[in-house]
Chain A
Amino acid sequence: MTLELFIQYIFAGITYGAIYAIVAIGFNIIYNTTGIINFAQGEFVMLGGMISISLIEYLNLPAAIALAVVITMIIGALVEIIFIRWLQGPSVLRMIIITIGVSILIREAALHIWGESVRSLPYFIGDEITSVSILGAHISPQVFCVLAVCTVMMLLLGVFFKTTSVGREMRACAANSTAAILCGINTRNMVTLSFVLSAAIGALAGAVMSPITYSQYNIGTGLAIKGFTVAILGGLGSSGGAVIAGLLLGIIEAFSVSVLPLAFQEAISIAILLLILFIRPHGLFGSKDAAGLKQF
């Protein structure tokens, strides 16, 4: 393998990895406040991409993306308010089935709105042939846009959870929701907020990745599976772990293309998921004792 090709693969891996990490963090935010894995997480990413593509006909790029993110946030809030909020002590099985149902509804709605066609946003800088040369490898500027947006998003999330009072309240719910209620925190609103937040980051990631990966009504399931793989790999609930695991999975996937036919690429990441679930369900970095305390 030449150095150029190697760097090409590394960048492709990091780009996809960053997206997977964002999806995984979306899983984590909701999981931490509710103990639910939201199977519709991938659909938020799809919506971000598809809505901004539709809006670009009327608005300029930043406005289209911003509006798409806002619309997806509203959808996230609605999902929580309509389907989750009023359930009292639902079983895990019930929650799984409900969020799967939600993901199907969103996907089918997308199919009827946008059809089966593959779409994408225009490149933010230049076009598909513009490239930056790094050590002889040609990297699209869009890759840097994706990386920059993902990095900023993660940093902002970190700041939000660490320093703002709302962020701290959300963390309190995650640690112990009963105690949080006793401290006067409205946990129900925190749950809604967690859906809104993860819808927002999913949608933004979906919009910035669209020029490279393209958007279609059915990309959600694949992204959700990979995001979940990353969330598990990094230890469910840990955002730092998710970033490392995301980059790891992205790079493994990118290099697997050079060994295996493209058709099996998705099978690879799922095989990794199964392997991790079977060998270390508490993740690469998580501790077994802590995992034992989680309600599974």
Chain B
Amino acid sequence: MMKKYLPFLPLIAFVVCVHLLTSWTGTLYYLTQMTMSAYYALLIIGLCVVMGYAGQISLGHAGFFAIGGYLSAALTTRNLLPFEDTAVLRMLDALGVLMKGQDIYGEVIVVITPWAACITAVCVAALLAFFIGVPALKLKGHYLAMATLGFGIIIYRVVLASEYFGEADGISEVPPFVLAGSLAVSGDFSERISNYYIAWVLVIAGVVLLRNLIDSRVGRALRAIHGAEDAAGSMGVDTARYKLHVFVLSAVFAAIAGVFMTHYNGSIGPSEAGVMKSVRYVAIVAVGGMAHLWGALIMAIILNFLSLRGVFGSYDDAVFGLILIVIMLFAPNGLLRINLRSKLQAFFSRAKRAEEV
């Protein structure tokens, strides 16, 4: 029982150490990127279960992230005052999901509370994942890849084309998300440390839940689908249902990440819904070793942190493209399980043989 939670100790120690080290050296600003990386990691570990364990590719997960982020942003910033006297608004008021806010000109506006917005956004993402998933997960290989890619592009086009979602500018001035008491998700510098820990608590909780899932009856069923789908079916696994449920689960992870990230940044833009983002998430899962939750987590933190620090400069997307190719060519089982030398030798000898043929 204790053994299962042992790997989490170094992770918790790492999280605390990063905080202490940055505060000691006066570089607390690193925590901002660490917080954002943590939110991306939350999405990526969800995707890892879909891709690595259940063996289904998704090129549309940025779409779910964007649904979470955009909906919570829109609901908590768009003024509902013009609808003051409608029955719907009175009902919302009675439910206690309305609050007063300020727009950029300092005018008083009425908006949905972040909690209600968050729940709505996550539910919408889950529902969309369900309705896309039912037909899409009947497909395999290229077809599934294209279907999820298409879904992602539709979400991108919709946020880019609708005024409600701020078109090319996105949505800014998103209010803080007060979780409890004085604990709030916001970009306020004074709350940087508490936000860092909020993000990491979420990630660690996510890893615990997914780890449990993988080592359970459900996890075995998912891995069986990946291993041999027809044999899984004849062992009594309802393959379509399991694939669908894990897809929805990962969409929920992505949407939660989107909601928190948006409140943390105070804004969201269309690039979060872009195809390149989805591809990037797939790349990170691949580098982590596909069926390797810890690998995905570690790579998510490292690569996102570097990317957010601007280390890759204008070659940001190119770096992820290159990573994808190199990993898939030389180490389809991930960077952490690579035997570099034998791989290179194999590459050159094979290339030579191919030329001789």
Interface residues of A (CB under 8 A from B): 37, 39, 83, 85-88, 90-94, 96-98, 100-105, 107-109, 112, 186, 188, 221, 225, 228, 232, 261, 263-264, 266-267, 270-271, 273-274, 277-279, 281, 295-296
Contact = CB atoms under 8 A, between A and B. Distances in A.
Q: Please indicate which of the listed interface residues A103, A221, A277 has the most CB atoms of chain B within 10 Å of its own CB.
A: A277
Interface string B130-154: 0010011011111101110111011
A277 B136 CA distance: 8
Nearest to A102: B325
Nearest to A87: B329
Contact of B282 (A97, A102, A112, A281): A97
Contact of B147 (A37, A102, A277): A277
A281 B143 CA distance: 8
A37 B142 contact: yes
A86 B332 CA distance: 14
A108 B318 contact: yes
Contact of B328 (A101, A104, A186, A271): A101
A37 B323 CA distance: 20
Nearest to B352: A86
B93 to A, nearest CB: 34
A83 B325 contact: yes
Interface string B228-263: 000000000000000000000000000000000000
Chain A facing B: main interface SS? helix
18 contacts: A37-B146, A92-B141, A92-B142, A103-B321, A104-B276, A104-B279, A104-B318, A104-B321, A105-B325, A108-B317, A108-B318, A112-B314, A186-B357, A225-B153, A228-B146, A263-B157, A266-B157, A277-B135
A263 B325 contact: no
Given A101-B321, A108-B315, A274 B276 contact: no
B139 A98 contact: no
Nearest to B319: A108
B149 A225 contact: yes
Given A37-B145, A281-B139, 5 more contacts: A100-B282, A104-B320, A107-B317, A273-B146, A279-B135
B347 interface: yes
Contacts of B140: 92, 296
Interface in B299-357: 314-315, 317-318, 320-325, 328-329, 332, 347, 350-351, 354, 357
B157 A101 contact: no
Given A96-B57, A97-B282, A104 B324 contact: yes
Contacts of B276: 104
B160 interface: yes
